[in-house]
Structure formats: structure tokens, C-alpha cells
Amino acid sequence: MTSRISHTTVDSSNAYAQSVWWGQVLGFGEDPRDPNLPGHEECMIFSSDGRQRVLFIEVPEGKVVKNRLHFDLSPTDATREEEVERLLGLGARVFADLRVEGGGGWVTMLDPEGNEFCVLRSESERPDPYAHLVS
């Protein structure tokens, strides 16, 4: 017997604003039958196929320490550097630049409420670790 993750929940000061911001970052949308509205204490966003879900819930306490869980993002149609610039334009901030010579590493960023997330290289920028298995 096993379980599956139904959705990931993120504590928020403003669930609606976070759902809008993360919807732009991930290309996720809301349920048209249950739209997210300003003032809603719970706002969920969905991937286009509905399989990935992120729920933002308003909580009274603010963020105090480092997240125990965070998102690692891999750009789907841009380079890591292009994605970092796009996210900066949406209001993210760089927390730690951990890129290394040769293209490895990542950038740790903060969303508008200060939650950490990382931006990795896109698949096209990473070497295929299983290339040796293909002849």
C-alpha cells in the first residue's frame, strides 16, 4: 500500500497574490469553476494536465526561518540565465548565486513572500548522464 502526493501546500500571507505569481512562474492556471479571487484564504493552481497542484493557504504567522521544503525549477524553453532574468522581472530576488564555472550549479531565489526556490539548468543545458547506454 502506498500514497501519492495530492498537491503541495504553501503557507502564505496572501494566498491570492502567491497563486497569481506562482501561476506565472509555472504556467499553471486556476479551476475556472472555482476561480481564485483576492481575499480567498485558499487558492489552488494546476498544471495544464491537472496532475500537478499547488495550494496556497493564508496563515497568521510570517516566515521566520529557511524553508524545510522548496521547489527546484528547471526551465522548459529557456536557459537558466534567461529564466533567472524572467523571474527577476516578475519580482523574485536572488538569495544565493551558486553557479559554477563550466555551467553547473544553481541560483537560489526568493518569491515575493521570501520563500526560497532554486533555478537549475534546463535539460538542454545538462549533459545526458545516460548517454553511454545508447549506441
Range of the domain at 82: 70-129
Q: Specify if 134 maps to a domain.
A: no
Q: Which pLDDT does position 126 carry in this prediction? A: 83
Q: Specify if 51 maps to a domain.
A: yes
Q: Specify if 96 maps to a domain.
A: yes
Distance CA 74, CA 13 (A): 26
What length does the chain have? Answer: 135
Q: Which pLDDT does position 135 carry in this prediction? A: 62
**Residue written as grid cell 500500500:** 1
Distance CA 132, CA 23 (A): 37
- Rounded average pLDDT per 10-residue block, the chain, 135 residues: 93 97 98 96 97 96 87 95 98 97 94 96 83 73
Distance CA 30, CA 111 (A): 19
Are residues 83 and 120 located together in one domain of the fold?
yes
Are residues 32 and 81 located together in one domain of the fold?
no
Q: How many domains does the chain have?
A: 2
Are residues 56 and 78 located together in one domain of the fold?
no
Are residues 79 and 125 located together in one domain of the fold?
yes
Cα radius of gyration rounded to whole Å, the chain: 17
Are residues 42 and 74 located together in one domain of the fold?
no
Are residues 75 and 118 located together in one domain of the fold?
yes
Torsion angles phi and psi, residue 133, rounded to 5: -90, -15
Q: Which pLDDT does position 9 carry in this prediction? A: 97
Are residues 121 and 74 located together in one domain of the fold?
yes
CATH code of the domain containing 32: 3.30.720.120
Q: Which pLDDT does position 130 carry in this prediction? A: 75
Q: Specify if 74 maps to a domain.
A: yes
Are residues 74 and 124 located together in one domain of the fold?
yes
Q: Specify if 122 maps to a domain.
A: yes
Distance CA 11, CA 62 (A): 9
* pTM beyond 0.75, yes or no: yes
Q: Which pLDDT does position 88 carry in this prediction? A: 98
Torsion angles phi and psi, residue 40, rounded to 5: -65, 135
Q: Which pLDDT does position 51 carry in this prediction? A: 94
DSSP 63: P
Are residues 48 and 84 located together in one domain of the fold?
no
